[in-house]
Amino acid sequence: MMKTGAYGKSLGQHLHLTSAPALVCKTINKALVAVTRCTLNAPTHGPTSPIPSEDAYMVVLQTGQRSHRELWLDGKPVRTQPLHPGEVVLHDLRRRPAFKMYTPIDSLNFYVPHQALNACADDANARRIEELDFTPGVGSSERILAGLGNALLPAFHYPDHVSRLFVEHVTFAFVAQVAHAFGGIKVNERPARGGLAPWQERRVQGLMEANLGGEIPLAMLAAECGLSVSHFSRAFRQSTGTSPHRWLMRRRVELAKERLRERKLSLSEIALSCGFADQSHFTRVFTGFFGTSPGSWRRSQLT
């Protein structure tokens, strides 16, 4: 039987949660990274069960009110400090952490295997990370991690409105920042390289054109170019001036513009044909790009 990591339903069972939705991504070296939305309106009754030991870390971003909890590592109590909104706290899952919550749970819990950290180190041409440097039970203020984590919240509230490319781009950036902030990897340690070769750019843009819904994995696009995810993202931005997710959103609205000039299709039909979840999603993205709604833009073109 395959072992389940500390994310999603498995993590929810340990933390006594009734629901634990998760976003799961795979890097090009097949390391699995996941983000679990953990919420519970009441504190837990008694300690949670210990999370089974594995070679991974759990990075908790506090998204709600200040959290008070007890912590045990390998069955031994560890002194903790309150975790404030926007702070992160790390747990080494090899030490079988268990908790008792005295306040409601409201957090994003990132599951980061050591294999994913090694991928970050390899991509930066840096020495592999043996241990992350942090104090158990004590949170730290990491504005970049908080910003990246909060950017993922809409993916839980409105999953049909957020593309897979966006989720993976932000999640991998979060892991890279963890490696930088707690593993000592320098973000620019690898010498700068050029952008994508013309054939690589044509290939990935063709794949994204064929998957306007954004459900093609970022790792697959990187693999098509023979690159790591982070190197591919940097090279793509250097070649196009934007991220893969932003490029895809721009292509959607450009295609929608072409179809808005025709009277045959309704706004909802255009939205679905261009990879948007629904008409409201289409309207919000189109307005964000052009400062006017699709309906208003169409009327201006037909007068």
253 and 230 within one domain: no
Cα separation of 190 and 178, whole Å?
17
Same structural domain, 99 and 163: yes
Q: Which domain holds residue 236?
A: 198-241
Residues 161 and 263 in one domain: no
Q: What is the CATH number of the domain that holds 268?
A: 1.10.10.60
232 and 259 co-located in one domain: no
On the question of pLDDT at 67 being above 70, the answer is yes
**pLDDT averaged over every residue in the chain:** 88
Query: In this structure, are 106 and 165 located in the same domain?
Result: yes
Q: Which residues pair with 164 in a beta bridge?
A: none
Kindly list the distances between the CA atom of residue 95 and the CA atoms of 32, 35, 91, in Å, as whole numbers in the listed order: 20, 20, 8
Q: What's the pLDDT score for residue 192?
A: 47
Does residue 190 belong to any structural domain of this protein?
no
Cβ 149 vs Cβ 108: under 8 Å: yes
- Residue 71, φ and ψ in degrees, nearest 5: -135, 135
Q: Is residue 192 part of a domain?
A: no
Looking at the structure, tell me whether residues 283 and 143 fall in a common domain.
no
CATH number assigned to the domain comprising residue 97: 2.60.120.10
- 225 and 152 within one domain: no
What are 144's two structure tokens? 């970049």
The total of structural domains in the chain comes to 3
Does some domain include residue 169?
yes
What does pTM read for this prediction? 0.77
CA distance 242 to 188: 19
Amino acid 151: pLDDT: 94
pLDDT in tens, 225-281: 888 888 888 899 899 999 888 898 899 899 999 889 887 889 999 988 888 888 998
Clarify whether residues 86 and 169 are in a common domain: yes
Does 221 map to a domain?
A: yes
Compute the average pLDDT of residues 65-76. 94
List 61's β-bridge partners, or say none.
88, 108
- What pLDDT was estimated at residue 4? 64
In this structure, the answer to whether residues 37 and 176 fall within a common structural domain is yes
In terms of domains, do 131 and 171 share one?
yes
List C-alpha distances in Å: 19 to 241, 254, 289: 39, 38, 35
Cite the DSSP H helix spans in the chain: 8-14, 114-123, 143-151, 153-157, 164-183, 198-209, 218-224, 229-240, 244-260, 267-273, 279-290, 294-302
**142-196 pLDDT per residue, tens:** 999 999 999 999 999 988 888 888 899 899 999 999 999 999 887 544 444 578 8
Average pLDDT over residues 2-17: 83
- Indicate the SS3 state at residue 208: helix
Query: 73 pLDDT exceeds 50?
Result: yes
- 224 and 256 assigned to the same domain: no
